[in-house]
């Protein structure tokens, strides 16, 4: 998991494949499902969307068989992220709403913040900026309340991208800089993407 967060996706995938074999041999279905979902996240981050979706769907099936609602929420949230990237916006909206409902039902506030951020991203890329900003703001408030640095950074980045989409360049840059500081502090791979976005501001010069 740490390797995935820091961007060492090859090492993460290798470790997860080894773990899958161990869990299969042990007959530990819960462990198997959890690692499948983590492997799906790595496949998504490396652009292998079909393999990512397959892993998340398999994880979801096992978690449903086991009655593990937290596992179901995680698999649904991850599956929704893949569907967004492949342009399946309607399907993504449905599974993300299911994930959000599960997280709220079981009182998992960190998962709730993650699902809200993913919903915000989906709304933004599908053109509903008002809904996107609302989701990211809810995620930011929740992340701050529970001291979740990662979700806080994602929410700030999401709000920055929403601001940029409506032409509020100064606000967008300020929000993205806040997100970058957090991502860098926790050693998250997302720092590289945000840094590239901020470089674009510098190259473009001050707003007219």
DSSP classification of residue 128: -
DSSP classification of residue 55: H
CA dist 157 → 2, 25, 88, 114 (Å) = 21, 41, 23, 13
* pLDDT (tens digit per residue) in 82-91: 999 999 999 9
Q: Other CB atoms closer than 10 Å to residue 148's CB: what's the count?
A: 18
The per-residue pLDDT for 31 is: 85
Q: What are the E-state strand segments in 52-157?
A: none
Q: Token digits for 6?
A: 């820091």
Q: What are the E-state strand segments in 27-102?
A: none
Burial 165-184 (b: 16+ CB within 10 A, else e): eeeeeeebbebbebbbebbe
The per-residue pLDDT for 124 is: 98
Domains of the chain by start residue, with CATH: 1-107 (1.25.40.10), 110-208 (1.25.40.10)
Quote the CA–CA distance of 151 and 154 in Å, as a whole number: 5
Longest dimension (CA), the chain: 63
Please give the average per-residue pLDDT across 41-60, as a whole number: 92
Q: Token digits for 101?
A: 């409902």
The per-residue pLDDT for 208 is: 46
DSSP characters over 129-174: HHHHHHHHHHHHHHHHHHT-HHHHHHHHHHHHHHHHHTT-HHHHHH
Going by pLDDT thresholds of 50, 70 and 90, the confidence category of residue 5 is very low
Question: Do residues 45 and 4 lie in contact, with contact meaning Cβ atoms separated by under 8 Å?
Answer: yes
Burial class (CB in 10 A: 0-12, 13-18, 19+), 158: buried
| Average pLDDT across the chain, whole number | 90
pTM of the model: 0.87
* pLDDT (tens digit per residue) in 78-126: 999 999 999 999 999 999 999 999 999 999 999 999 999 999 999 999 9
CA dist 153 → 40, 58, 62, 67, 134 (Å) = 22, 30, 31, 32, 16
90 contacts: CB under 8 Å, gap ≥ 6? none
Going by pLDDT thresholds of 50, 70 and 90, the confidence category of residue 162 is very high
């Amino acid at each position: 998991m740490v390797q995935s967060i820091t961007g060492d996706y090859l090492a993460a995938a290798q470790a997860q494949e080894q773990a899958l074999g161990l869990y299969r041999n042990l007959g530990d279905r819960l462990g198997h499902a959890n690692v499948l979902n983590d492997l799906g996240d790595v496949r998504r981050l490396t652009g292998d969307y079909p393999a990512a979706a397959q892993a998340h769907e398999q994880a979801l099936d096992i978690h449903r068989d086991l009655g593990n609602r937290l596992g179901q929420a995680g698999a649904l949230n991850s599956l929704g992220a893949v569907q967004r990237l492949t342009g399946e916006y309607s399907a993504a909206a449905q599974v993300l709403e299911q994930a959000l409902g599960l997280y709220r039902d079981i009182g998992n506030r960190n998962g709730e913040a993650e699902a809200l951020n993913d919903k915000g991203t989906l709304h933004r890329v599908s053109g509903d900026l008002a809904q996107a900003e609302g989701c990211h703001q809810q995620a930011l408030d929740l992340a701050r309340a529970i001291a979740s640095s990662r979700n806080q950074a994602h929410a700030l980045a999401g709000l920055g991208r929403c601001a940029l989409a409506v032409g509020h360049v100064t606000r967008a840059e300020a929000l993205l800089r806040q997100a970058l500081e957090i991502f860098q502090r926790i050693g998250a791979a997302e720092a590289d993407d945000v840094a590239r976005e901020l470089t674009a501001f510098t190259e473009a010069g001050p707003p007219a």
